[in-house]
Structure 1
Amino acid sequence: MTLHLPNPDGTLRTYEPHPEPLRRTMPLPGSAFTSRTVFSAAHVVADPYADTTPDGPAAVDWDATLAFRRHLWSHGLGVAEAMDTAQRGMGLDWPTAAELIRRSAAEAKAAGGRIACGVGTDQLTATATPSLAEVRTAYEEQLAVVEESGAQAILMASRALAATAKGPDDYLEVYGHLLCQAAEPVILHWLGPMFDPALDGYWGSSDLDTATDTFLEVIAAHPDKVDGIKVSLLDAQREIDLRRRLPQGVRCYTGDDFNYPELIAGDDQGFSHALLGIFDPLGPLAAEAVRLLDTGNTEAFRGLLDPSVELSRHLFRAPTRFYKTGVVFLAWLSGHQSHFTMVGGLQSARSLPHLVHAYELADELLLFPDPLLAEDRMRTLLKLHGVDQ
């Protein structure tokens, strides 16, 4: 069987999908990674039958959403819940995110899976100019929801704080207050403006060196309350420099979807753990690679994971914030959901040529558990776009 795939100039090319199914090693029951802590930031599955609008409340297919988390846990990966991959601030509202946190945390307990959940301030979207006190209260509300669920907290970057803060001191005050309150060590998340333009100048400065100093000052004041940091700046050297400056015992979780193999592999001065959106579609492959790293075989780890970087860079190319579309598209092709629909209608955020190339790259990596299903669904998408097969 062949597919006729469109080129950006409107011409068609012939493509022959790989017939081999996905073959990835499954962990032994209870088997955990020994060399790295690895989270996959997981997407949510929309309810395709809900009568919604792009700016209305999110409608989630809870059964499919939780089934996907069980899929990730089955491979030994942790789940980073209610993060930007789950469309926080891009279709997923706070009431639905709170329900997602509660449901996923309960599912994690039943499955014996690791989970950490995003804490933000997105319930303030209707407030034009919140005060620092309102930002702090919004963070506190969400922190309470996560802690009551039994999950680890990830303090996410806040659009409201970015809009309200006058300088580094405001960040030090808000984060210091939250860390003093946190019952258990949290993960701090620095999300760069390529993922969310509203976060430009986070930590009180658009100069990244100055912002880094403030970030490190927050950590140095409360090292016992910081499990680790997630850095999503897509700058490998900056992440390496930052992790070398962390206090003893504070982990660096790479969020660099462009350079993750080399950052996780590390060097003679250290390495990064992982909390990555790209590990949503790469879950089984990523797990297999980390198990090779557990044996000390860095070369085999890189040999397996390096070829996936081209796909990741394609999915996360500018405008990077729309990477979720490609992630959900691949979940559909892989059979993890029955449709290609997203909350907020975000399935329309990437072009057909972009999705076509994502399919080709994933097929080359043998990511699809059922290549014939992926081919059939790709054929359906092409027909819907007027491409004759």
Structure 2
Amino acid sequence: MKKIFALLLAVVMVTTVLISGCSTQKAYAGVIGPDQARVAKFWIGKPFYEVDGKRYEMDVAPYVKNDRTMMPARFLAYSLGIPEELVQWDEGTQSVLVERGPFQPTKIRGGEYIPPEKRNDGIQMWVGKKDFDVNGYWYGKFDVPPEVIPPGRTMIPYRAVAQALGALVFWDDATQCVTVETWRDVPQPGAFNVKKVTVYKNQNTADVVEKDGSSRQVKTSVPVMITDPRDGGFTLDAIEWFKLWGVPEENILYDPERGGLAIRAKNSRFTGSADDLAAKVAVGYLYFYKGEKEAWDNFFLKVQVNNGANYNFIAENGRFYGGSSVQSSVAKLIGKPGKGSGTPDLSKVWLEILD
């Protein structure tokens, strides 16, 4: 099936090149790739890590507990380029706050109040507790709670914390290695002014409606929607789809070899009442991994799709594809409910953000 998908994609890409008269070596020009990202590596049982190929020593080694990789909080922060002053330990509450971002540092819960729009992205965790706090909002649970081991290091579940702070996380079972990729500098949160996007199957055309009611037709370099050979339905070029919604290229991090895609969205602030969490929480980041069916947000939760996700994400020929999960995840970027649909023959599909 993967060969069929690749063949169909090749036909679409050749057609696009013939139409445009040119092609580029990089599938997504302007998007941040591994060569421009900060890349860190940890190994299970090894008391060192690497950042961009340079080795650093640790006084503890990562380990696996209940299928979760546990890392020392402070060295995790260092691997992401977070300075020491943004790793705060509170002895009284047995909690640690790790922050990252282009804004103001946040005080430990109960300290000086800083408006949400001026805070860094941050995650606060408590030793022995599965609940954690992302950007001042209680919305996530660890599978394994943080714990303290000699010589006094707080060990935390790496993937959940790294994703809260804007990093892709990959696991290599053969080498027992965790690879982490992130932006060298945290990009500013996105500003979204688009209300509706419609794309057409195997066509280099999209219709975009702005919040103010104005509309425009966009010519894309490749078809944003193509036929999915797995069921004859549709699949979307994820990065081109997000760009139509106004996501800047510098807010997109993509590793075509490992098959991971990260999108910097709004600040992940709770924007509504607790009665409608799913629709009213704008996430700070979205993560997509090839072979999975649903996106992750920075609360370590999977983004649910109303009608379910039938097929896995695919990274092929330097591009990243997904169906209804990619289509509907825009609502999470913006923090408002969205309604996705299409024609019966799926010649076109759309998503509209609801007020």
Q: TM-score, length-normalised on structure 2?
A: 0.28
Report which of the two has the higher share of helix. Answer: 1
Q: TM-score, length-normalised on structure 1?
A: 0.26
Structure with greater contact order relative to length (CA < 8 Å, sep ≥ 6): 1
Report which of the two has the higher share of strand. Answer: 2
